[in-house]
Chain A
Amino acid sequence: MINIQTLKKNFNNETVLKDINLTISNGEIIALLGPSGAGKSTLLRCLNGFERPTSGVLTINGQPIPTQPKSLQAFRKNIGFIFQNFNLVNRMTVIDNALCGRLAYTSTVKSFFKIFSKEDRELAEYYLNKVGIYEYRHKRVDQLSGGQRQRVAIARSLIQQPTILLADEPVASLDPKTAHSIMNLLQRLKEEENLTLIMTLHHVELAKEYAQRIIGLNHGVIKIDTLSQLISVEQLYKLYEQHENNSEQEMKVGELIASY
Chain B
Amino acid sequence: MAEAENKNVVAPRNAQTGFVFLPLIAGWLIPGAGHFLLRKWVRGALLAISIVCMFALGLAMQGHLYANAHEILEMLGLAGDLGSGLLYIIGRAMGLGSDSVQLTVADWGTRFIVVAGLLNIISAVDAHNIRTGRKL
Do A and B pair up? The answer is no
Interface residues of B (CB under 8 A from A): none
Q: Which residues of A contact B (CB under 8 A)?
A: none
